[in-house]
Amino acid sequence: MSAVTDTAPRATAPQPGGAIGQSVRDSLVVAKRNLIRMARIPEVVIFGLIQPIMFVVLFSYVFGGSISIAGNTSPEEYRAFLMAGIFAQTVTFATAGSGAGIADDMQKGLIDRFRSLPMARGAVLTGRTLADLVQTALTLVVLAIVALIVGWRIEDGILGALAGFGLLLLLGYAFSWIGALIGLVVRTPEAATSGGLIWLFPLTFISNAFVPSENMPDFLRHVAEWNPFSATVLACRELFGNLPADYHAADAWPMQHPVIASALWSVLIIVVFRTLAVRKYRSATA
């Protein structure tokens, strides 16, 4: 009896560092588990790279020379304009993968197994989103190499470029929490994939990613200028040194201060959707 009495408290005793420390440790363990899983299924990563590479090549050579950027229709000008939009679209499209992965874990009962362990409730979702962030970073590296091969160049120094890629990763991490919430709401990975993509197409195309927003009808132009996706795209163009020579910022505040707006939008999305996702996780598995 004494042996049972002595060992029971140890299983539930808080680990050093308090609740925050335990949450961080548990999140890293779950992230490691997901990274190992991704490494064992390399075709998921490979297929995830094919679509953005196709976008880079097709948009560069099919639309290059056909779309006017500040009165200039040269393929080089459009390529410089395009790449920030392709990068941003790539990190946001990772949302579908986050949602599908969590929906798959829910369907297989893996989430219930995690619930039986003495671990922080939000660690399962945080670990998954961190693992997706690593995959997104790898995708961005490959995509940047392909962009350099087709003629894209960084014109404003390496520090600005690193800041631009940092904003892209922050946006991708923010959107992965939207994917996490979708994965918890739907019942199957297939539904999570569809639900994670259907709203991204209008979000990314009603923006300044592929065409200048000033050419849009007034209503769409205002939507594009306040679109968080547009703020990140413009911020990256500014940090990469890819703004057109005679660029004039629109009157909307996010277009006047794109770097600050991009960071604020991403942090706001993380706070809101992480709160909603963790709440849904607790109620879905209660």
| 176-234 confidence digits (pLDDT tens) | 999 999 988 887 888 888 887 889 989 999 999 888 888 889 899 999 999 999 999 99
Instruction: Give the domain extent around 176.
Output: 18-284
pLDDT category, 254, cuts 50, 70, 90? very high
Q: Is residue 245 part of a domain?
A: yes
Q: Is residue 262 part of a domain?
A: yes
Q: Is residue 168 part of a domain?
A: yes
Predicted structure pTM score: 0.85
Q: Is residue 190 part of a domain?
A: yes
Domains contained in the chain, number:
1
Above 80 in pLDDT, residue 268? yes
Q: Which of 81-90, 166-175, 202-211 has the highest mean pLDDT?
A: 166-175
Q: How many Cβ atoms sit within 10 Å of the Cβ of residue 54? A: 11
pLDDT category, 16, cuts 50, 70, 90? low
Sequence-ordered list of residues with C-beta below 8 angstroms from that of 265, at least 6 positions apart, any chain? 171, 174, 228, 231, 232, 254
Average of per-residue pLDDT across 27-54: 80
Above 60 in pLDDT, residue 4? no
Q: Is residue 13 part of a domain?
A: no
Q: Is residue 10 part of a domain?
A: no
Q: Is residue 198 part of a domain?
A: yes
Q: Is residue 258 part of a domain?
A: yes
Average of per-residue pLDDT across 108-115: 73
pLDDT category, 73, cuts 50, 70, 90? low
Name the residue among 105, 109, 103, 60 with its Cα closest to residue 82. Answer: 60
Name the residue among 264, 192, 187, 251 with its Cα closest to residue 222. Answer: 251
Integer angstrom CA distances of residue 275 from 122, 182, 262, 271, 278: 9, 13, 20, 6, 5
